[in-house]
Chain A
Amino acid sequence: MISLRSAIRRLARDHRTLLSALVSAMAFHGTLLAAGTFRRTYDAYVHIFFADHYARGWFATWEPRWYTGFSVTSYPPGTHQLVALGSRVLGLEAAFVLVQLAGILTLVVGVYRFTLLFGSRRAAGYAAFLAVLSTSIAEAVHVFGQLPTVCALGLLLNSLPFVRRWTLDGGRRSLAAALSMLAGTTAMHHVTTLFGAVFFIGPVVVWSLLDRLRQPHPKEGPGRAARVTRATIVPLVARRIRRVYRSVGRVAVLGMASVVVLLLVVWPYWVWSTTDPIAQVPIPHGSRESFLEDLNAGLVFWLIPWASVLPALPYAVVRGLRSHTWPVLVSILALAFLGTGGTTPLPRMLLGEAFEILTLDRFTFWATILILPFAGAMAADLVDGPLAKRLVDAVGRSTLHVLQAAGVLALVGGAAFTVNLTQFRKMQPAPIAPAPIVSFLEKDQHWRWRYLTLGFGDQMAWLSTQTSAQSVDGNYHSARRLPELTSTPVERLEGAKFRGVPGLGSLQQFLGMPERYHLKYVFSNDQFYDPLLQFSGWRMLQTLENGVVVWEREDVPPLPGATVEPEPPTVYRVMWGILPLAAILAAALGAVSSFGPKSGGLEVERWARLDGALGRLADRMPAETGPTRSWKDPIRLLSRRFALPGSAIKMTLVTTVVGSVTGLVVMTLPAAHSPAAVVVAYYDDVDFKRFEQAWTRLDEESRPSLDEYLLQLSVEDGLVDSYASLDSIGIVDERIAGTRAQVTVDLVYVTALAEFRVEERVDLIRGDGTWGVVLPPVDPTEPVERLARRAEIEFVPQGRRSVTTANTEYDDVLDRPELEVSHLRLVLRDGRPALLGMVENIDVDPASLTVTGALLDERAELMATYNATHVVEHSLLPGESTPFLIEFEGVAGRDTGDFQAAAFTPIDLAGEVAAAHLYAASVVTGRGLSRPVTVQRLTVTMSGSAPVLDGELLNLGPKDVTVTALLVSLYDASGTLVWVDWVIVPEAAKPGRSVSFHSALTESGRLVTHDVDFGLNVNGLSAPVRQAAVPAGAVPAPAGSGYRWIAVQPVVFERATR
C-alpha cells in the first residue's frame, strides 16, 4: 500500500506544478472559505440545510421544515451527506468549508489530469494554476456557493483520462475507475453526469475513436488506396472498422454501464421524479436574459466567468481546428454558445422547453473549465514556447516579461475581484444572527405554528438549520408543491418583491389566509412588506435583538400534533442513505488510482473470428502510389479560401480591440437632453437614491440648496416614498413653450400592497441650454398646536398567565368578543363574485377579526373559500363596526402563468353559486386600535358615470401615519350596502398635518346582486344576519351615481420605530 508520505513525495517529484497548484488552491480558496465568503453566497446555506437534514436523520427522506414538507430525494445527497458526516465533529459550517475545499482540490487535479491528455505536464501544470485563479470557479464557489456542481465536476474531469484509456486500450481497471467516478459524480450532482456525458465524455470518446481510426491495426497490410474506387471501398471500410470496432464496443459497454450507474446510485430520485414530476411556472433567471440588454446579467453570468480564460478562446479555436482535439473545441463552443442565454434566440430554439428550466450559467461554467487545457497550453506557449519566441521577435524580451507579469496580475486581480464581488454588489442582506429568532420560536411553544421570513435572502436556510420549526417558505424551489407557489415565478416568498407583482400576489395569498397554512409568525427584515402585513391583519409583536421584527396574526390554529410524513419504502430510504456515499467512496478510491496495465488479450481472443474476417477483407487492398486523399481535404480548401487571421495572437488582438471599442462606445453614449429625458433621469436618480445627481437636474434658478433639498426629501414619507420601488416611467405628454416645458409622466411603482400608478406633471425651465426640473412648492403651513396632548387607551389581553414552567395559557382563554353581522350580500362585479357586509363588535372588549367566506353549489359542496384580506378593519374597538369585502381569488397565476396588474386572479367557479356562508371569528386583541385619522372635506362628484371621492386625511395622533387605506362603503337608496371600495392614500400624514386624496369609485352599473341562501357562523355558533342602518358620517351620493350614501372609514398604518 502506498503511504501518504510516499504519495506526496511522488507527487512532488513527478507533478511538482500540480502540487504547487494544490497548495495555492488551499491557500487562496481555503483561506477565503474559512473567512466565511460562503455566508454571502446564494446557495451555500441551502446545501448546509440539506446537510442538517441528514445530520438529524440519516435515513429520513421527508423534510417537514420547508414548503409544508418535501422529499429530499429530489436532490442527489452525496455532498450533503459528506457535510453531515463532517458536522458530527466540526459543525455544519466548518464541514461545509472542508467539503467545498475538497471539491476545489478535486477539480484542480481533474483539470491537471484532463490536460495531460492533450500533451505536456507543463501545460497541465499551467492549466491547474489557471483553475486555481479561474474567475469562473471563484464565482461558482464564492458568489454562488455551488457545492455539488464543483465537487461533481471535479470527479467528472478525473474520470476522463480513464474514459479515454478504456476507449483506446480497454482494461477493467480503467473501466472500473471511470465508472466509480461517474457514480460519485451522480451521487453529488446527477445533472453533471447527464450533461457531462454530452459535453465532456462525448468529445473525449469521439477524440479517442478518431485517434484509434487513424492508427493502423498491428496486423494491417502495407497497401494504400490513393483514391476510393469500387475495388478499394470494401477493403477501406473493413480496415477502418477493424481499427475501431473494439473501441466502439468498449464505448457501448461504458455507455450502458454509465446508464446503470446513473440510475442505480440515485434510484429514489428517479422514482421521485416520475411519481412527483416538477410542474411549475419557470422562475426567471438572469442567465436566460439577453446580456446586451441586461448588462448586470451579462457581467455576472458571462463576463466574470469568462474573464480569466476569454483570451484563450481564439487560441483554442486555432489549436482545436489544427489538431485532433476538435471535438473538445466543438463542445467548448457549444457550451459557450448555450451560455449566452437569451442574447440570441438560438439557445431557446435548441433547448426548447428546457430553456425555461435550466440555469444557463452552468453551460458557461463548463465551457470555462473545458477550455482550461487549451489555456494551459497557451500559457506554456507564452512563457517559453513558440508564442513567446514570436513575441520576443516582435516586441522584445523586456516587453514580453512586462506582458507576462501583467497577465499574471490580471489573473490574480480578476480572481480577487470575483471572490469579493459580494462585497461590491450586495447580493444578500447583512448577516442576521439567528439566535434571537430561534429563542423566540422555542419560547411558549411558538414552533407549534409555521413561520415565514421576509428579507432574509439565503440566510433563511441558515435559520432553518437552527430550528425544528416549520416555514411555509423554503429555498429549494424544485420542492415546492403548494399551488400558490408553483403557479408563480417566485423562487421564495421571502424575496417576493424582487419578482414584482406576481411575487407579491403570491405572498398576499399566504398572508391573507394564514390559518390555511398554520402560519402565525412573520420575521421581517425588510420594512417594504410592513404595509402589506398591516393591512392583511398582521400586528407587530416585537423587535428582536437582531433587529428583526416579529409580526403575529391572531386566531391561527396550531399545527396538528401528528402529521403524515410520506416516506418512501424502507428499501429506498436505505438505498438513499448508503449508495450515494458508497459511490463517493468508490470514486475516491478510483481517483487516487493511476493508469493501470491494459488487459486487451482476452478481447483479441474474444473477437478473433470477427478480427480475422475484417483482416481478410482489409487485405484485399491493392498497393497503389500517389497522394492520399482525406475527408478533410474540402475543409482545408475552404479554410485556405476564407483564411482566418494567421495566428492565435492576431485573433486574440482582434478580439480584444473589438471588445474594448464596443465597451467604450456603450459607456460613452451621449446622454439625451430633452425635457422628457431629464425627467426620466431625475426620477431614476431619486429611485436609486442618487440624490446629489438628482439635485443637479433641478432648475438652477429656483432649486433649493442641496442640504435643503435633501431635508425636503427626508421628510417625505408614505407608501410610494418609503415602501415602493419604481418599476417603470412612461411619458404621457411633453409640451414645450419657449424656455418652459411640462412633462406628464406615468410612474408605476411596485409596492407590497399592489402595483401603484401615479401620474405627475413636472415643470421644467431651460437655462444655459439644459432643462431643469422645477420643484413644486413646499407646504408652508405649521402645526396649529405647539404641544399636542392626546389620550390613548391601551389594552393588554394577558389572559390567565402566571409564572410557571408549565405551558402558559394562550390568549384565547379570554371570551371571544361578540360580533354582529349585517348587510350580508353576494355581489358580482364584472362577473366576479364577492361576499360583503358589515361586522360590528358589540362586545366591551376590542376584537381581532377573521372573516372567511365560502361559496357552495346546489349540492352544498364547497366551491371556493377566501378571507377578507385588505378590505376590512381587522381590529375593532368596542362598539365599532367595519365593512368587509371578500373577493374570491383563484390561485395566483394558475392559468396564465402571470398576473394582471391588479395582482388579482379571478376564481374559476365550476357551476352556479347557490349559497354563501360567512364565518366571523374574533379574539380579544390589544393591537391595531389606534384611530388617529380624521377624514374631512369629503365630497363626492360625478366624473362621467363614475362617482369620484375627494377629501383630506388629518392626522391628530402623535405618530406619523405612513399609509392610510379607506374603506368606502356604497349604499343604495334603501340603505343597503352594495359595495365596498378600497382606496389607498399613498402620502404620509404627519402629526397635525393633512393630506388630500382623490379616487374614482366603482360604477354602480358594474354591480349585480346575486340572490343566494346565506349562512352565518359567528365564533363557532350559528347566528342570524342583523339589519343595520347606514353608519354615521355617511355622505350623500350625487344623483346619477346609482348610490344614495357613501361612508368612508380609514384604516391606518403608523410607521413603527425599527
Chain B
Amino acid sequence: MDRRAAGGVRKGNKVRRLLTVSTAAALLLALGLRLDPSPTPVQAFGLTVETPARSRAGESLTVAVRAPGGGDAEFGATFRTAYRAYEVSGRLSNGAASFLAPAQATRAAGVLDVVVRIGPFAATSSTVVAARAVSTIPVPFVGARSIVAGESDRSMAVVIPSDRFGNPVTSPAPGLQVRYPRGEVQTFELTNASSLLWAWIPSSTTAGRALVTVASSAGAGPERDLLIVPSDPTHVSFTADTPVRRADGVSFLELTTSAIADNFGNTVLDGTAVTVTTISGTGHRSVQRVMTFGGVARALVEMPDSAGPFTVEVTAGEAHFSQVLGLEGIVAEAPPVSVDWAGPLGVSLVVGPVVSEQGMPVPDGTVVTVESGDGAMARGWTLDGTAQIEISAELHSGLLVSVGGFVIEVRS
C-alpha cells in the first residue's frame, strides 16, 4: 500500500468516526428530551366543570374544573355564546383549576355554554346570562317615511331597546310617543315580537311633520320624523289677473289657483302637478302643466286670436274647476289686402294696415293666416300693423285671409 492509499484509508476512518459520534450525539439529545421529567398523568375520567347557573351580561364568571384522580394536565375550554365562541386554555394543578371566563364571552345575553376538554374527555356547564338594564333610550325606526292624512293610513315604528352591550331588553317595555302636527301627543303601547318592540302609528287628519320618540321612566329619547302628507286634492278654483281680456293672440292671461287642498283642508305639498287646460271659441285647446308652490299654482295662458268664449279648466288630482271667460276682439275692421306679386309658383300678399278699435296698429306678431282653395296654408305676423305673406298657391283658385276674426277673400 503506498502512502497515498494509506492516507485515503485514514481519511475514510475519520469520516466514519465523525458519523458515529454525530449519530450518538443526536440519539442522546433525543433521549434527553424524552427523559425530561413529565407530570403525573391526570385521571380525566369523571372530569367536571362548574359555572354559576345565572349571571348578568358583563359580570365576571368563575369557572371551576375538577378531575377526580388528581394530577396536572393541560386543558382547553370553549365558551359558546349566541354569537360566537371563544377558546382559552389552562392547566390543572393537582386535578383542579379555577379561572375567569373571558370578558367578551360574558357580554352576550342568552345561554353561555362552557366546554372543557382534556384529551378525549370533556365536560360542559351552562350559565344563563341576563341582559342588563337599558343603557340609553332607543331611537325608533319609522317606516313608511310618509303617510297620507286621513286616519286610514298608518306607519310602523320598530324599537330595539338594548343594554350597553347591545343585548335587546324588552322588559320593561317603553312606550311610543307621537307628537302630531296639531300638537296633540299620543302614546302607543309597543308589542314584543322576538326581541323587537313595534307599534302602528295611525295618521291624523292634519298634514305636517309628526315626531316619534320612545318614552320610558328615564325620559324621552331622540325623535324621528314621520311626514303626514295631504291626500288627494279635492278643492281648487282660480282667479285671472286682469278684467280686460283681449283676444290678440300674443298677450298672456295669468291665472292663480286658490290654495289647493284635500278633504281635510290640508294644502298640497310644493311641486304637486296641476293641469291647466283652455278651450278657445274656435275649439283650439291648450294644455299646461304647472306645479304648486305654497299650495298655489300659477299659470300663464296665451290669449287666442279670436274673440268669444274662452274656457279655462284647472285639474289637480280629483279636484277640478272650470270657468268660461269672454274675450274681446282687437281688430276693428277687415284690413285691406293687396297682391304684391303673383305667378305660377305662388302669391305674395300684403295685409294691412290692421288697426285696433283705437285706430292704432295691432301689436306686432298678430297672426295672419292665408288659405287657398286647394288646401295650401301660410301663416305670417304683423309688423307695424302690416303683414306680408307668401303662399305656394295660384291666385285664381281663391285665397282666404284671416286676421282677428275677420276673413277676407282674395281673387284674381
Give the interface of A toward B (CB within 8 A): 735, 737-738, 740-742, 761, 763, 777, 779-782, 784-785, 791, 793, 795, 814-815, 843-846, 876-880, 929, 931, 934-939, 954, 956, 994, 996, 1031-1033, 1035, 1047-1049
Quick check: B269 and A844 within 8 Å, CB to CB? yes
Query: Separation in Å of the B341 CB from the closest CB of chain A?
Result: 9
Docked pose: A846 CA to B380 CA in angstroms? 41
Q: What B residues does A1031 contact at CB under 8 A?
A: 275
Quick check: A878 and B272 within 8 Å, CB to CB? yes
Check if B388 is an interface residue, CB within 8 A of chain A: yes
Q: Kindly identify which residue among B229, B277, B345 contacts A742, using a CB–CB cutoff of 8 Å.
A: B345
Q: Kindly identify which residue among A779, A791, A954, A996 contacts B302, using a CB–CB cutoff of 8 Å.
A: A954
Q: What A residues does B274 contact at CB under 8 A?
A: 879
Quick check: A761 and B392 within 8 Å, CB to CB? yes
Encode B284-303 as 1/0 by CB contact (under 8 A) with A.
Answer: 11111111010000101110
In this complex, what residue of A is CB-closest to B388?
A777
Docked pose: A377 CA to B146 CA in angstroms? 88
Quick check: B289 and A939 within 8 Å, CB to CB? no
Q: Kindly identify which residue among A735, A954, A1032 contacts B275, using a CB–CB cutoff of 8 Å.
A: A1032
Check if B381 is an interface residue, CB within 8 A of chain A: yes
Quick check: A877 and B273 within 8 Å, CB to CB? yes
Docked pose: A815 CA to B302 CA in angstroms? 39
Query: Separation in Å of the A828 CB from the closest CB of chain B?
Result: 29
Q: What B residues does A781 contact at CB under 8 A?
A: 250, 364-365, 381
Query: Separation in Å of the B360 CB from the closest CB of chain A?
Result: 16
Within 8 A of A (CB), among B169-227: 227
Q: What A residues does B398 contact at CB under 8 A?
A: none
Q: What A residues does B233 contact at CB under 8 A?
A: 879
Quick check: A956 and B272 within 8 Å, CB to CB? no
Query: Separation in Å of the A987 CB from the closest CB of chain B?
Result: 14
Q: Kindly identify which residue among B283, B291, B302, B315 contacts A931, using a CB–CB cutoff of 8 Å.
A: B291
Docked pose: A843 CA to B290 CA in angstroms? 17
Quick check: A740 and B287 within 8 Å, CB to CB? no
Query: Separation in Å of the B293 CB from the closest CB of chain A?
Result: 5
Docked pose: A741 CA to B345 CA in angstroms? 7
Docked pose: A780 CA to B285 CA in angstroms? 25
Could you give 16 example pairs across A and B, Cβ below 8 Å?
A: A737-B343, A763-B345, A815-B143, A844-B227, A844-B269, A877-B271, A929-B271, A931-B290, A936-B286, A936-B288, A937-B285, A937-B304, A938-B286, A939-B283, A1032-B313, A1049-B287
| Known A782-B365, A936-B285; further 19 A-B contacts with Cβ < 8 A | A735-B344, A742-B345, A780-B381, A781-B381, A793-B270, A815-B146, A844-B146, A844-B227, A844-B229, A878-B273, A879-B274, A936-B286, A936-B302, A937-B304, A938-B285, A938-B287, A954-B286, A1048-B287, A1049-B289
In this complex, what residue of A is CB-closest to B303?
A784
Quick check: B283 and A935 within 8 Å, CB to CB? no
Quick check: B343 and A738 within 8 Å, CB to CB? yes
Given contacts A781-B364, A782-B364, A791-B298, contact A814 B345 (CB under 8 A): no
Most buried by A among B250, B304, B313: B250
Query: Separation in Å of the B14 CB from the closest CB of chain A?
Result: 46
Give the interface of B toward A (CB within 8 A): 143-146, 227, 229-230, 233, 250-252, 268-275, 277-278, 283-291, 293, 298, 300-302, 304, 313, 315-317, 320, 343-346, 364-365, 379-381, 383, 388, 390, 392
In this complex, what residue of A is CB-closest to B250?
A784
Docked pose: A793 CA to B143 CA in angstroms? 26
Docked pose: A1035 CA to B287 CA in angstroms? 10
In this complex, what residue of B is CB-closest to A1046?
B285
Quick check: B271 and A846 within 8 Å, CB to CB? yes
Quick check: A815 and B144 within 8 Å, CB to CB? yes
Query: Separation in Å of the A877 CB from the closest CB of chain B?
Result: 4
Docked pose: A761 CA to B290 CA in angstroms? 37
Quick check: B345 and A735 within 8 Å, CB to CB? yes
* B contact patch SS: strand
Query: Separation in Å of the B158 CB from the closest CB of chain A?
Result: 15
Quick check: B283 and A934 within 8 Å, CB to CB? no
Given contacts A780-B364, A879-B272, contact A934 B344 (CB under 8 A): no
Quick check: B252 and A784 within 8 Å, CB to CB? yes
Quick check: B346 and A938 within 8 Å, CB to CB? no
Docked pose: A817 CA to B166 CA in angstroms? 34
Q: What A residues does B344 contact at CB under 8 A?
A: 735, 737
Quick check: B269 and A878 within 8 Å, CB to CB? yes
Quick check: B271 and A878 within 8 Å, CB to CB? yes
Query: Separation in Å of the B380 CB from the closest CB of chain A?
Result: 7
Docked pose: A956 CA to B390 CA in angstroms? 29
Q: What B residues does A1035 contact at CB under 8 A?
A: 285
In this complex, what residue of B is CB-closest to A739?
B343
Quick check: B288 and A934 within 8 Å, CB to CB? yes
In this complex, what residue of A is CB-closest to B280?
A937
Query: Separation in Å of the A940 CB from the closest CB of chain B?
Result: 10
Quick check: A737 and B345 within 8 Å, CB to CB? yes
Quick check: A1032 and B271 within 8 Å, CB to CB? no
Docked pose: A956 CA to B276 CA in angstroms? 14
In this complex, what residue of B is CB-closest to A954?
B302
Query: Separation in Å of the B381 CB from the closest CB of chain A?
Result: 6
Quick check: B287 and A780 within 8 Å, CB to CB? no
Quick check: B146 and A934 within 8 Å, CB to CB? no
Q: Kindly identify which residue among B268, B278, B345 contacts A740, using a CB–CB cutoff of 8 Å.
A: B345
Q: What B residues does A782 contact at CB under 8 A?
A: 364-365
Q: What A residues does B293 contact at CB under 8 A?
A: 791, 793
Q: What A residues does B343 contact at CB under 8 A?
A: 737-738, 740
Docked pose: A931 CA to B388 CA in angstroms? 35
Quick check: A879 and B381 within 8 Å, CB to CB? no
In this complex, what residue of A is CB-closest to B322?
A1032
Quick check: A877 and B250 within 8 Å, CB to CB? no
Quick check: B317 and A934 within 8 Å, CB to CB? no
Query: Separation in Å of the A675 CB from the closest CB of chain B?
Result: 11
Query: Separation in Å of the B353 CB from the closest CB of chain A?
Result: 15
Quick check: B287 and A880 within 8 Å, CB to CB? no
Q: What B residues does A784 contact at CB under 8 A?
A: 250-252
Given contacts A780-B381, A815-B144, contact A742 B251 (CB under 8 A): no
Query: Separation in Å of the B188 CB from the closest CB of chain A?
Result: 21
Docked pose: A880 CA to B268 CA in angstroms? 13
Quick check: A779 and B285 within 8 Å, CB to CB? no
Quick check: B286 and A793 within 8 Å, CB to CB? no
Q: Kindly identify which residue among B251, B272, B345, B388 contacts A877, using a CB–CB cutoff of 8 Å.
A: B272
In this complex, what residue of A is CB-closest to B341?
A740
Docked pose: A935 CA to B143 CA in angstroms? 40
Query: Separation in Å of the A1021 CB from the closest CB of chain B?
Result: 13
Docked pose: A880 CA to B290 CA in angstroms? 10
Most buried by A among B271, B302, B365: B271
Docked pose: A938 CA to B379 CA in angstroms? 16
In this complex, what residue of A is CB-closest to B304?
A937
Quick check: A879 and B273 within 8 Å, CB to CB? yes
Docked pose: A987 CA to B298 CA in angstroms? 26
Quick check: B285 and A1033 within 8 Å, CB to CB? yes
Docked pose: A934 CA to B388 CA in angstroms? 28
Q: What B residues does A777 contact at CB under 8 A?
A: 380, 388
Most buried by B among A741, A742, A1032, A1035: A1032
Quick check: A793 and B285 within 8 Å, CB to CB? no
Q: What B residues does A843 contact at CB under 8 A?
A: 146
Quick check: B289 and A880 within 8 Å, CB to CB? yes
Docked pose: A996 CA to B320 CA in angstroms? 29
Q: What B residues does A791 contact at CB under 8 A?
A: 293, 298
**In the A-B complex, the 8 residue pairs with the closest CB atoms:** A781-B365, A936-B286, A1033-B287, A1032-B315, A880-B273, A1033-B277, A934-B288, A877-B273
Query: Separation in Å of the B336 CB from the closest CB of chain A?
Result: 20
Docked pose: A738 CA to B345 CA in angstroms? 10
Q: Kindly identify which residue among A793, A814, A879, A934 contacts B287, using a CB–CB cutoff of 8 Å.
A: A934
In this complex, what residue of A is CB-closest to B375?
A943
Q: What A residues does B298 contact at CB under 8 A?
A: 791
Most buried by A among B227, B274, B287, B383: B287
Quick check: B364 and A877 within 8 Å, CB to CB? no
Q: What B residues does A935 contact at CB under 8 A?
A: 286-288
Docked pose: A844 CA to B209 CA in angstroms? 14
